[in-house]
């Protein structure tokens, strides 16, 4: 299994400087293998343990960022100590006070109406599944042979339903109806980073279009890794899930090699911010 050598070098140097790491990972397709039925997506137990052990190291925090609703993500992840961000950056837990986008109440009403309209539209299409979330609607077509042949007509029809301030976004076997807030996974990761302390270094690993948005948002200041094929703006690429495991193990090894005795920047309690000096 090949590891992005440049990334490992950067991680070593960072660990030697005692920098804190925020390790952000997408869920479906990155941590959980894609399944025909979305409800069947599971985080493999060994990977859960890897993430848990990584997140327990001094100076390392883990956050899972997904398009799934937060309650769904929480049920599927169950990684002790990890933060969670659902609905493409619209919520964040695990880094101090839980946060959700201020427009959530309004978007909830709009997404309910949109989900009902999408249900009506797709009623005659077998294998299309509507997922209603708090602030968005996902139209999954992995199990529809007709849409799999050509997804564009469905995309155009869904576009016709969009009220002002909403947009259509594509992903792996999904059309997403999302509020046009220019907010995504990258913003949630930056919020988590601010809450840890802005000096924390960000690593983000993802496999899909919304992750690409995140890579762009985070820019060159972050270590970004694309899983699998496809065009990417990420700085590194790994082939698939086994490489993600290898990378997580490498992160842990690098951190352990650098010595686990906390540096001054890592001695403060995890929930606190830079304000309170340690005594
Ligand atoms: Mg994904």
Per-residue pLDDT tens over the stretch 36-54:
888 899 999 999 999 999 9
Residues 108-126 have a mean pLDDT of 96
| Cα 208 to ligand 1 centre (Å) | 5
Distance, CA of 112 to CA of 13 (rounded, Å): 48
Which pair of tokens denotes residue 67? 């398009």
Give residue 260's pLDDT band: very low, low, confident or very high (50, 70, 90): low
| Cα 110 to ligand 1 centre (Å) | 25
- Angle CA 105–108–114, to nearest 5: 150
Q: Are 65 and 188 in contact, with CB atoms under 8 Å apart? A: yes
| Cα 123 to ligand 1 centre (Å) | 26
Ordered by start, the domain boundaries in the chain are: 5-101+183-266, 104-179
Q: Using the predicted structure, report yes or no on whether residue 267 has a pLDDT greater than 50.
A: no
pLDDT in tens, 144-169: 999 999 999 999 999 999 999 999 99
Cα separation of the two ends of the chain: 44
* Burial bucket for residue 242 (CB in 10 Å: 0-12, 13-18, 19+): exposed
Q: Using the predicted structure, report yes or no on whether residue 275 has a pLDDT greater than 70.
A: no
| Cα 43 to ligand 1 centre (Å) | 13
| Cα 254 to ligand 1 centre (Å) | 26
What's the half-sphere exposure (Cβ side, CA atoms, 13 Å) at 215? Answer: 21
Which pair of tokens denotes residue 24? 């952000």
Does the domain made of 104-179 have the CATH classification 3.30.70.1020? yes
Distance, CA of 225 to CA of 203 (rounded, Å): 8
| Cα 84 to ligand 1 centre (Å) | 15
| Cα 177 to ligand 1 centre (Å) | 17
| Cα 186 to ligand 1 centre (Å) | 14
Neighbours of 199 (CB within 10 A): 11
Residues 114-129 have a mean pLDDT of 96
| Cα 247 to ligand 1 centre (Å) | 17
| Cα 22 to ligand 1 centre (Å) | 18
| Cα 29 to ligand 1 centre (Å) | 4
Give the CATH number of domain 5-101+183-266. Answer: 3.40.50.1000
Q: Using the predicted structure, report yes or no on whether residue 105 has a pLDDT greater than 60.
A: yes
According to the model, what pLDDT value does residue 165 have?
A: 94
Which pair of tokens denotes residue 269? 């309690």
According to the model, what pLDDT value does residue 263 have?
A: 45
DSSP assignment string, 182-211? ---HHHHHHHHHHHH-TT-EEEEEE-SHHH
| Cα 155 to ligand 1 centre (Å) | 20
- Residue in this structure with the two tokens 């990684």, named with its chain if needed: 79
Q: Are 144 and 127 in contact, with CB atoms under 8 Å apart? A: yes
Give residue 35's pLDDT band: very low, low, confident or very high (50, 70, 90): confident
| Cα 258 to ligand 1 centre (Å) | 31
| Cα 207 to ligand 1 centre (Å) | 5
Residues with Cβ within 8 Å of 16's Cβ and at least 6 positions away in sequence, in order, are 258
Give residue 279's pLDDT band: very low, low, confident or very high (50, 70, 90): very low
């Amino acid at each position: 299994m090949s590891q992005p050598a440049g990334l490992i070098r950067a991680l070593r140097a960072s660990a030697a400087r005692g920098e804190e790491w925020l390790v952000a990972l997408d869920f479906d397709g990155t941590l959980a293998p894609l399944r025909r039925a979305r409800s069947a997506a599971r985080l493999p137990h060994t990977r859960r343990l890897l993430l848990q052990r990584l997140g327990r190291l001094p100076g390392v925090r883990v956050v899972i960022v997904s398009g799934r609703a937060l309650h769904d993500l929480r049920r599927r992840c169950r990684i002790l100590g990890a933060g969670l961000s659902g609905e493409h950056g619209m919520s964040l837990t695990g880094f101090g006070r839980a946060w959700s986008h201020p427009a959530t109440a309004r978007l909830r009403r709009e997404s309910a109406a949109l989900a009902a309209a999408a249900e009506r539209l797709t009623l005659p299409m077998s294998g299309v599944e509507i997922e209603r979330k708090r602030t968005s609607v996902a139209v999954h077509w992995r199990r529809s042979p007709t849409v799999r042949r050509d997804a564009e007509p469905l995309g155009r029809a869904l576009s016709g339903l969009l009220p002002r301030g909403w947009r259509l976004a594509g992903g792996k076997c999904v059309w997403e109806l999302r509020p046009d807030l220019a907010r995504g996974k990258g913003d949630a990761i930056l919020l988590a980073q601010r809450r840890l302390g802005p000096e924390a270094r960000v690593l983000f690993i993802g496999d899909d279009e919304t992750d690409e948005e995140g890579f762009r948002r985070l820019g060159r200041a972050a270590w970004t890794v694309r899983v699998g094929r496809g065009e990417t703006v990420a700085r590194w690429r790994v082939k698939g899930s086994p490489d993600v495991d290898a990378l997580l193990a490498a992160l842990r090894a690098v951190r352990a090699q650098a010595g686990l005795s906390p540096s001054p920047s890592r001695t403060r309690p995890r929930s606190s911010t830079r304000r309170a000096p340690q005594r």
